[in-house]
C-alpha cells in the first residue's frame, strides 16, 4: 500500500505542478484520503523528505524542457554573436532581471510559512482555494492577452505577476493559473505569458525546496521509503515534463478556462465531503441522546423508567471515551444514606 501511495502522489505532483489546478491542494486531499484509508498518515520527517524529492523531480522537468533555451541563453550571455537577437547578452540579462523582480515578493513567505502550514490540514481551506483558482481561470475568457514580449515587458509588470505568485503557497491556489492570468491581463502575449510563468516557477520551486531541506532529518528515513520516494520522483519528473507541454498548448489555444469547470466541481465535492464527514462524526447516537436526557441535575439521576443509575455513594468523576461520543458523569452524595445526585454531560464527536 505504501508503494501505491508513493506512486500516486508522484503522479499527482507531476500532473498538477504546472497545470493550473494547484499541486499543493491536490496533494493535500490525496494524502488525506490515504491517511483515512490507512488509518494513519506518514510521519512528518518522511513527508518532508517526500515533498523535497517530488519538487526536485518537477524542477528537473523544467530544466529538461528549457534545455535548448538555457544553452542558447548561456552562449549569448558569454558574448556569442551567433545566437538569435532574443538570446543576446542584453536580452538575457533583461529577462533574468525580470525574473528576479517577480521572485522578490515571495521572500516574506519564509516568515509566514509557519502560519500557513496549518491551512494544509483543513479541507475547507483547500476547497475555497480551488474556488478562488476556478474563478480566476474563468476570467481568462475575457483576457485575450496582447502583443507584449520580453522586450516590451516592464519592471512593474514583473512585480505584479510576482505579487500574484505570492498567493500560490495557499492550498488550492494555483501558481501557474494566477501568474498566467495576471500576465494576460497586463497585455502579454499568450506565448510569453506561459513562458514567463514557467521561468519564474524554477526559482519559486527551488526556494521552497531549500526551505524544506533545512528542516530535514535523514536519520528517520528507512531504505524502503527512500526507494519509494526515488520511484515517485522519477514519475513526477516524467509526468511534469508532459504537463508543461500540455500547459503551453492550452494557453496558446486560449482554453485555460476549461480547468475552471473541473475546479468548481472539485471544490464543491471537497467542501460537501468535509461537511458530511463532520456531521457524521459529530452527531451523537440515540443512546447518547437518551443518556444525556436523564443524566441532568433536574432529574437527580432518575432514569426514564424510574430506575436509578446505581452509582456508589462516594464522590466520583467517571468518563467513557471511544470512537464515538464521550460521556462524563459526576456523582455526589447529598447526605449520608441519601440518594446520590447524578449529573452528567455527553460530549458528541471524537474526543
Extended beta strands in the chain, E state: 316-320, 326-333, 340-347
Phi/psi of residue 333, nearest 5 degrees? -70, 125
DSSP string, 43-107: -HHHHHHHHHHHHHHHHHHHHHHTHHHHHHHHHHHTT-SSS-GGGSHHHHHHHHHHHHHHHGGGT
- pLDDT band at residue 42 using 50, 70 and 90 as cut-offs: low
The pLDDT value given to residue 43:
63
The pLDDT value given to residue 121:
67
CA-nearest of 336, 284, 332, 335 to 344 is 332
Span 45-68, average pLDDT: 86
The owner of cell 500560490 is 168
The pLDDT value given to residue 337:
47
Report d(CA 46, CA 54) in Å as an integer. 12
Report d(CA 97, CA 319) in Å as an integer. 64
Name every residue whose Cβ is closer than 8 Å to that of residue 139 and which is 6 or more positions away in sequence.
181
DSSP string, 156-181: HHHHHHHHHHTTTTSTT--HHHHHHH
Listed range (24-38, 43-57, 117-131, 320-334) with the worst mean pLDDT: 320-334
Report d(CA 196, CA 158) in Å as an integer. 9
Judged against a pLDDT cut of 60, whether residue 47 lies above it is answered with yes
- pLDDT band at residue 211 using 50, 70 and 90 as cut-offs: confident
The pLDDT value given to residue 234:
96
Q: Residues of 17-44 as b/e, b for ≥16 C-beta within 10 angstroms?
A: bbbbbbbbbbbbbbbbebeeeeeeebee
Span 261-286, average pLDDT: 79
Report d(CA 41, CA 111) in Å as an integer. 27
pLDDT in tens, 285-344: 444 444 444 344 433 444 444 444 444 444 444 444 444 444 444 444 544 444 444 444
Amino acid at each position: 500500500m505504501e508503494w501505491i501511495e508513493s506512486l500516486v502522489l508522484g503522479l499527482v505532483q507531476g500532473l498538477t505542478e504546472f497545470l493550473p489546478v494547484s499541486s499543493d491542494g491536490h496533494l493535500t486531499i490525496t494524502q488525506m484520503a490515504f491517511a483515512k484509508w490507512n488509518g494513519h498518515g506518514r510521519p512528518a520527517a518522511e513527508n518532508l523528505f517526500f515533498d523535497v524529492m517530488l519538487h526536485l523531480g518537477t524542477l528537473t522537468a523544467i530544466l529538461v524542457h528549457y534545455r535548448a533555451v538555457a544553452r542558447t541563453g548561456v552562449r549569448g550571455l558569454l558574448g556569442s554573436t551567433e545566437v538569435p537577437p532574443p538570446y543576446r547578452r542584453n536580452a538575457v540579462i533583461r529577462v533574468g532581471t525580470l525574473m528576479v523582480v517577480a521572485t522578490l515578493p515571495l521572500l516574506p513567505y519564509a516568515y509566514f510559512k509557519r502560519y500557513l502550514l496549518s491551512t494544509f490540514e483543513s479541507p475547507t481551506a483547500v476547497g475555497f482555494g480551488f474556488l478562488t483558482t476556478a474563478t480566476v481561470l474563468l476570467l481568462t475568457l475575457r483576457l485575450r492577452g496582447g502583443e507584449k514580449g520580453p522586450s516590451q515587458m516592464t519592471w512593474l509588470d514583473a512585480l505584479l505577476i510576482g505579487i500574484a505568485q505570492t498567493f500560490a503557497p495557499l492550498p488550492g491556489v494555483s501558481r501557474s493559473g494566477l501568474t498566467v492570468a495576471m500576465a494576460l491581463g497586463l497585455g502579454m502575449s499568450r506565448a510569453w505569458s506561459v513562458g514567463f510563468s514557467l521561468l519564474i516557477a524554477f526559482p519559486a520551486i527551488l526556494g521552497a525546496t531549500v526551505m524544506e531541506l533545512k528542516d530535514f532529518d535523514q536519520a528517520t528515513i528507512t531504505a524502503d521509503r527512500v526507494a519509494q520516494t526515488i520511484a515517485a520522483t522519477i514519475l513526477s519528473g516524467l509526468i511534469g515534463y508532459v504537463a508543461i507541454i500540455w500547459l503551453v498548448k492550452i494557453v496558446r489555444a486560449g482554453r485555460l478556462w476549461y480547468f475552471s469547470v473541473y475546479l468548481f466541481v472539485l471544490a464543491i465535492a471537497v467542501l460537501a465531503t468535509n461537511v458530511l464527514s463532520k456531521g457524521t462524526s459529530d452527531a451523537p447516537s440515540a443512546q447518547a441522546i437518551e443518556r444525556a436526557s436523564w443524566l441532568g441535575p433536574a432529574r437527580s439521576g432518575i432514569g426514564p423508567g424510574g430506575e436509578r443509575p446505581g452509582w456508589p455513594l462516594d464522590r466520583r468523576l467517571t468518563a467513557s471515551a471511544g470512537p464515538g461520543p464521550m460521556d462524563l458523569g459526576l456523582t455526589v452524595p447529598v447526605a449520608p444514606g441519601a440518594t446520590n445526585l447524578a449529573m452528567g454531560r455527553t460530549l458528541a464527536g471524537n474526543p
